[in-house]
Chains A and B, each alone.
Chain A
Amino acid sequence: MDQFLAFGVVGLSTAAIYAVIGSGLVLTYVTTGVFNFAHGAAGMLAAFAYWQLTAGWGWPVPVALAAVLLVLAPAFGLLVERVLLRPVQHLGEAERMVMMVALLSGLIAAARWIWDPNVARPLPAFFADRTPFRAGPVTVTWHQALTMAVAVAVAAGLWALLNRTRSGAAMRATVDDRALAGLTGADPVRANQVAWVLGTQLAAVGGILIAPAVALDAQQLSLLIVSAYTAAIFGRLRSLPLTFLGAVVVGCLESYLTGYLPQNPYLPGLRLAAPALLLFAALLLFPHRRLRGRDRRLARVPLPSRRGALVFAASVAAAGVVLATVLEGDDLVTFGPLFPLGMVALSYVPLTGYAGQISLCQLSMAGIGAVVWAHLGADGRPWALAVAVLVAAVAGALIALPALRLSGVYLALGTAAFAVVLDRWVFTLPSFDVLGVRIALFEQGSLEVSGPSLLGARLDGERETIVFSAVCLALASLGVAALRRGRFGRRLIALRDSEAAYATLGGRPLVARVAVFALGAGIAGLGGALYGMQLRTITADQFSLVAGLPVFLIAVIGGLGYVGNGLFSGTAFTGPNILLGPASWTQNLVAVLPALAGMGLGHSPDGLLARLRRDWEPVARDRIAMPVLALVLALAWLLRVADAVGGWALLAGVLAAALALREYAASRTRSAAEPEVPVEWWGVRRPWRAEDGEVLARGIAQG
């Protein structure tokens, strides 16, 4: 009994921290409508800053606490509100969420940059020098008592703020209707700022209190938030009392699992994954929402022409051949993942671009594909690749079934929870038997992966694998283009644009959604298998939730409606590594890049591919520029293969030639087009045309 109570005290003190963090999350969500994925990361940053001030620079604890909680945290909250959120406030929920995912990914990368992850940073508990006191049959440390006292104070303070102050009333009004609150004299921007400052402070308090109990590790601390998310979901992201209740459930569950879970090689991961499993369950307890009507402001999904898709696929394959022949030594390893990761990004095009389903576990699906290939494809049997795709697709369909009830932020959270369950538990399992079939995963370490045999030849070298991946990506891009042109693609877009209309026409949203999840997971699984072949040795870490966030961000920045996203994302993801050769210190900069680019999303919500297409279309259509460009590329390639020029000179030369040709083609289209006549002079300075009425009507409708 004493042991039970002791674990209860540990659980309650953990619960108190989750409650503090979770209430910050709820506060920002209800006031600003933004679900802060980076809330835990803000707490992590605060813990690191506190360590730096106390252990690093020797500041006294009270001064350091004041500096972090009263200066740094509020400043950080205000900065995030001003720089990241205000520019995307007018965009949709999805864009705001991408911002927060970018912030999460960026903060983890930045923390690893500033504080070398290989150095241990112990943080002492508060009042560590005082002996614990006894409360009845149990012993309570002063740190635990302090934690619980802080939670009670936070609860009381938030209640008083929301119910007894003008700011609180303004914040609650902003939730219901921003514009209306503004009209009645409340200031929505100020309410947002107050919410961000308080939210960040609460995250900081939680981060500092929990850091002594766990290692000071950027990724681990940021993801501790999963437990706080679960608590907030208990409160349905709205109710603070229910959030506190949820925190107690999660905290005690974790504590009792630690105490009472039987010793067994399969179960330690379960304790770590328990909050994520509970999060998944809590999400599913939400009531069915009604069929959604139309979403305004969705990114475009251009229809690729058959010829364009074929030319693009051929270029992808050619790019593979060029890279495989031009690169040497370490560069083959550095740039090899271009096509496999591009494939993972391509899986977002049908899944998120067309069907609007946000998934944060695509790299985990890739992990499943990689594991299946590593085990079954050891002899290079090509059918094992099909099995890898199939198993990943089945896994995708399995997540889709429960996730069907979720959308938007909840779906993103659900898939993130699934990824965490895989990271912490499933991928760490030793091998086991199911119905007589032996199932092995990462074997609690790393796996050797080999290439496939095709037509009697073993594709095992880096160069062969690059060409093979490029051909696979070309075929997959072609497949996605065909999908977009066909019946299923139309249905996915229709489903996203108006679920209600789709259903009243006889469509089954559930079937389409499971199918697209399976398809996306299958594509990602193939990407994972190729990634494995490229890396030769794989570990579970390479397929974790946090590793997958940059892939998601880059795909979003490219523009999820474009079939070319695979090649773009692969290039954008591995391309910056080019800096590593001449300047190895740029490694951390390269790690932060995807997050920085994601934060720039507000400036081009339609994606960079739309812009690239607009800029380069004149070249592709020009009868002179295009052949010349092809010739330049071919010549450059031959020169490099013959070792006549160096890589850098070649890159610079090709870029200069391409830009010059773009200018040339653009100037030709400009001169070909007739001079622009302002709309008010139509029919006066030039004759009125039959289509002018239509053009005007459309312009007015859009304006």
Chain B
Amino acid sequence: MASLKVEGVTVAYGGNLALDGVGLTAERGRVTGLIGPNGAGKSTLFDVVSGLRRPSSGRVLLDGRDVTRLGPARRARHGLARTFQRLELFGRLSVRDNLLVAAELGPGRRHAARLADEIIDRVGLAGVAGVLADALPTGAARLAEVGRALAARPALLLLDEPAAGQDAGETERFAALLRSLAADGTAVVLVEHDMGLVMSVCDEVHVLDLGKVIAVGPPEAVRRDAAVLAAYLGEP
């Protein structure tokens, strides 16, 4: 069964449709890519899935259960965690305390301190664990957000441009981290502008443009899709 299933979600801002009947599935053990030009509605879709925004129609199912009416905290208890494109770290806490808050709220709360330290090592944050989140450079801050989401021990992880601001070496390490997360059985949904990263780690890619899904398929197929090329490069 799909870990996440989004069906016919529509969100309207005034008269504009930010999302127009969008569907999406993400399965355990796979990395699902979600790409599209700026303003396509990717972050809005994440807000709908994580419960920060109510859709005007459509459903969100986690492990087959309809969670459309539940708030963000209840969805988190169903195993959902996310990062934010516009960083939402707890700026006045240290990186380790950021992870600790997540661990203490999640299913790993009995061993929160140990869990936080393990993730700090796994994600590669040991050098900045004691630094206040506000003082982090962007690349490290994005990584800290990923670490915080992982500390909640999610079954479904939504990542919103996690690799922005990273250099080539960091991106390579990050790709390895994503593959290892999927291998552990986590369903990962990745929004990312770095096409190299998307093509190398995703098992399936959804393309969003102007609030609609215009293509779904394996990375290679999507790359050659005429509608996708038109959306990114303009009509020939």
Contact = CB atoms under 8 A, between A and B. Distances in A.
Interface of A: 290-291, 293-294, 298, 300-301, 487, 490-491, 493-494, 496-498, 500-508, 561, 694, 697-698, 700-702
B72 A294 contact: no
B191 interface: no
A503 B104 contact: no
Nearest to A291: B52
A698 B135 contact: yes
Q: Sorted from nearest, which 3 A-B pairs have the closest CB atoms?
A: A506-B76, A701-B137, A501-B88
Interface string B86-122: 1111111100011011101110000000000000000
A497 B93 contact: yes
B50 interface: yes
Contact of B84 (A290, A300, A500): A500
Contacts of B128: 694
A702 B53 CA distance: 32
B127 interface: yes
A293 B43 CA distance: 14
Contacts of B90: 493-494, 497-498, 501-502
Contacts of A701: 135-138
B76 A504 contact: yes
Contacts of A291: 52, 72
A496 B136 CA distance: 19
Contacts, number: 102
A694 B81 CA distance: 29
Contact of A500 (B52, B106, B131): B52
Contacts of B91: 294, 298, 497-498
B77 interface: yes
B73 interface: yes
Give the contact-size bracket for chain B.
Answer: 35 or more
Given A490-B100, A490-B101, A501 B93 contact: no
A493 B76 CA distance: 19
A536 B100 CA distance: 47
B101 A505 contact: yes
Contact of A493 (B75, B92, B137, B152): B92
B82 interface: yes
Interface of B: 50-53, 71-73, 75-77, 80-82, 84, 86-93, 97-98, 100-102, 104-106, 127-128, 131, 135-138, 140, 148, 152
A643 to B, nearest CB: 49
23 contacts: A291-B72, A293-B88, A490-B93, A490-B104, A494-B98, A497-B92, A498-B88, A498-B90, A500-B72, A500-B84, A502-B90, A502-B101, A503-B73, A504-B52, A505-B102, A505-B105, A505-B152, A507-B73, A507-B101, A507-B105, A697-B140, A701-B135, A701-B137
B135 A293 contact: no
Contacts of B140: 697
Contacts of A294: 86-89, 91
Nearest to B76: A506
Contacts of B80: 504
A694 B97 CA distance: 20
Contacts of B75: 504
Contacts of B71: 503
Contacts of B104: 487, 490-491
Contacts of B100: 490
B52 A506 contact: no
A497 B106 CA distance: 19
Given A494-B93, A494-B101, A498-B90, A505 B127 contact: no
Contacts of A498: 88-91
Given A504-B82, A508-B73, 10 more contacts: A290-B53, A294-B88, A496-B92, A497-B89, A498-B89, A500-B72, A500-B84, A502-B90, A505-B152, A506-B106
B107 to A, nearest CB: 9
B2 to A, nearest CB: 20
Contacts of A508: 73
A497 B91 CA distance: 6
Contact of B135 (A490, A505, A702): A702
